[in-house]
Structure 1
Amino acid sequence: MSESIGIYIHIPFCKSKCPYCDFFSGRASETDYDNYMRILKEKIKYWSGQTDKNVATVYFGGGTPSVLGADRLSDVLYSVKDCFTVEPEAEITVEVNPDTGKTLDFEKLRLAGFNRVSVGFQTAVERELKALGRIHTAKDALVTTQRAKAAGIDNVSLDLMMGIPYQDIDSLKESIDFCAKCGVKHISSYLLKIEEGTRFFDIQDQLDLADDDKQAQLYLFAVDYLDKLGYKQYEISNFAIPGYESRHNSAYWKCGEYIGIGPSAHSFLNGRRFCYGRDLKAFEENIIIQDGEGGDEEEYIMLSLRLKSGLVFGEFEKRYQHRLSPLQMKKIGNFARAGFMELDSKRACFTPKGFLVSNAVISELLV
């Protein structure tokens, strides 16, 4: 197992709930924020007693962490640093909504130790933003990235959604050009997924959604165009200027260990996977749901193949003391001949076309 771990802090609050969002989050009062802070710091202290490993990455996600404001976010990070041994060069990320980002005190966040900002942008096109129920404008996103960089946080990421209502190649290009104009180092570009329990799930028949063919067209365009702009794909939905790949998320895909703190947050520690339920009271009472063992061969193959670097045979053999089966290698060869994978003596990885059907391919490899 790795020498260091990551920490994920879940902030389950938003100013408004987006109709496509399935994450555990909702509106709350300032009093609710303060009460959650108290619980969060109690749990940070508890989990610090469960491991003596150094912390290499900290990630504040949600919800919308930025609704808490810089003082509360800094307070939580100071608590993490007080309780854990956080490495001097640790990557410390906070997710920010452009609506709150345009007034957030990024200078205070930087002084507390935050050195990476992930902005929930989605699209630069006003009609598409309204269709997604977003409460910000493209200008808000630009102002947020500018303010973060002016405060000394140069490592900024933008979320970019594909397959959303009314979107076509031209509007997607407009959004990608906007990201490049902002000068960000990282772009998470992912396809809209309709999740059960969301408003979009209930009204999906009324939405102008992209079918599978259009989704594929948008995705393949984005991969190619982002590459031309210098954003290299390193994971199925993530692109970065070389050297600015997300270390926190990359650790997930490499079966690294992490502790998730907050309702709905998942953990992988000491070979076990477990989580908190989607319930604030259960989180306060520290009720933990066991998910069983983690890091087995199937999981390693599945997660490795999310990465553009793919499944490295030598690393697999070192970890599990044997090679992939002849049948698995034969299947990989078949997928490579069909154009879905690339294969050489050292590794197997998906092509952009292969990423679009990766779930089906991985399922076949694991049979």
Structure 2
Amino acid sequence: MGLGLYIHVPFCEGKCPYCDFYSLAPKAETVDKYVERTLELMAGYGADCAREVGTVYFGGGTPSIIGAERLGRLLEGAKRYFHLVRDAEITCEANPTGVSEGFFRQLSAAGFNRLSMGMQSANTEELRLLGRKHGPEGVRQAVEGARTAGFKNISLDLMLALPGSTIESLERSISFAAGLFPEHISAYILKIEPGTPFASRGLILPEDDSTADQYLFTVERLRELGYAQYEISNFSRPGFESKHNLCYWRCDEYLGLGPAAHSFYNGRRFQWGRDLSAYLRGEGPTEDGPGGGTGEFAMLNLRLSRGLMESECADRFGEEGRELFALVRGRAARCPNTLLNICPDRVSFTPKGFLVSNALLSRLLD
């Protein structure tokens, strides 16, 4: 699939109360400096990179907020300094607000071929709670504008287990999202992250049983609507799985640029600090040691619905990989069969298993 290239665009119009990602309000001069610094880094890394790049992902923050022209410059830099494969998946995240058909046409002309938009909910009260500035019709208009501009690969984000949410409110969101016919849907359970506004509000989240019911309902309802689960929180129509995110979950290498971006590149893991000023001053990333070991490989692959495969363990690690798979399979056999699927050549989590994946991973890989 080739190397993945991730560009973190650390700018956002405002901070949603649940968001823990690094982002700042955009100022034109600072944004331009960010673009120039990132292009410099592309030139440096690209000069030493002999590998093909299979995916490029612009995340944030809200990448769309810096405008199509700047995004196009960054993508042109990726094309100039790296060897992108002919059918590279090139994704841009966007909010449904502040975008138009003209914006999407500019992105398409620059070479972007996939969009990921933060819908979150189709219920006005829930959107207000989440600090979102769009309504359901804003999502519809954004998707229609993207379609008219020629995009054939669109992903929408949903959030589950919101305060006061029910199966009925979740069904409205799922049906609305699926009715826009996106190729991909991500569905995340809301978590209260330390240091966010939500953490200080004392919000009451649904009880664990209710959260589990919402998650399992989502898996089944999306399956009925033609979206197969391929990862804990991700669903797609056939052939539209996110290639870039699969790069992470298959423990393939990727290069991240931008403040707070992480990398697994040339066998090493490193990350840029959550500090735009330091990034612009030329400070480098912090080393985080070697990556891609057997335990990490197993942990990441078990996030996928297809699970951990004996053949891939052997291809990656030889005899050590076969021993890894045998160990995981042996421990899996001692777990409840409602949580795991165990075959001679693979081990995978069921949807119920995904709900307790952290505990299962600890049992299987400790």
Range class of TM-score, shorter chain: over 0.9
The Cα of 1:34 is off from its aligned counterpart by 1.6
Task: Provide the alpha-carbon RMSD of the alignment.
Answer: 1.3
Residue 295 (structure 1) aligns with: 292
CA 1:147–1:103 in 2, change beyond 3 Å: closer, same or farther?
A: closer
1:1-367 to 2 correspondences below 5 Å: 4-102=2-100, 105-203=103-201, 205=202, 207-284=203-280, 285-322=282-319, 323-324=322-323, 327-335=327-335, 337-367=336-366
**Whole-angstrom CA distance in 2 between matches of 1:324 and 1:120:** 41
The DSSP-based 3-state class of the residue aligned with 2:260 is coil
SS of 2:150's equivalent in the other structure is coil
Q: Deviation of residue 166 (structure 1)? A: 2.0
Q: Displacement of 1:86 after TM fit?
A: 0.9
Question: For 1:324 and 1:111, how far apart are their aligned partners in 2?
Answer: 49
| Residue deviations 1:294-327 (CA, integer Å, cap 9, x gap) | 0000000100000001000111122112223555
AA aligned to 1:303 is L
List per-residue Cα deviations over 1:269-304 (Å, max 9, x = no partner).
111111101011222213210111100000001000
- Distance of 1:208 and 1:339 partners within structure 2: 29
Deviations 1:144-181 (A, max 9, x none): 11111111111000000001122110111100111111
Matches of 1:147 and 1:183 in 2, distance apart?
Answer: 13
Q: What displacement does 1:28 show?
A: 2.1
Give the deviation of 1:68 after TM superposition: 0.8
Structure 1 residue 113, shift from structure 2 partner: 0.5
Q: Is this contact kept in 2: 1:339–1:354, CA < 8 A? A: yes
Amino acid at match of 1:267: S
Q: C-alpha separation between the residues in 1 aligned to 2:152 and 2:315?
A: 37
2: CA distance, partners of 1:144 / 1:101: 7
Flag the 1:35–1:90 CA change in 2: closer, same or farther, 3 A: same
TM-score (norm 2): 0.96
The one-letter amino acid of 1:225's match is R
- Code of the residue aligned with 2:290 in structure 1: it is E
CA distance in 2, matches of 1:348, 1:98: 39
What 5-or-longer segments of structure 1 have no aligned partner?
A: none
Tell me if the contact between 2:4 and 2:53 (Cα under 8 Å) persists in the aligned partners.
yes
Question: C-alpha separation between the residues in 2 aligned to 1:355 and 1:273?
Answer: 26
Is the 1:124–1:178 Cα contact (8 Å) retained in structure 2? yes
2:193 alignment partner AA: E
Measured at CA, do residues 104 and 131 of structure 1 come closer, stay the same or move farther in structure 2, by a change above 3 Å?
A: farther
Cα distance change, pair 327–296 in 1 and its aligned pair in 2 (3 A):
closer
TM-score by length of 1: 0.96
Instruction: Tell me, in whole angstroms, the C-alpha distance in 2 between the residues paired with 1:357 and 1:260.
Output: 29
Distance in 1, matches of 2:327 and 2:55, equals: 38
**Which stretches in structure 2 are left out of the alignment for 5+ residues?**
none
Aligned residues: 362
**Matched residue type, 1:357:** V
The range that moved more, 232-241 or 337-346, is 337-346
| One-letter amino acid of the counterpart of residue 147, structure 1 | G
CA contact (8 A) 1:13 1:26 kept: yes
1:210 CA displacement: 1.4
- The sequence identity of aligned pairs, in percent, is 46
CA apart distance, 1:104:
5.5
Shift of 1:213: 1.3
Instruction: Decide whether aligned partners of structure 1 residues 274 and 50 sit closer, same or farther in structure 2, where only a CA change above 3 A counts.
Output: farther
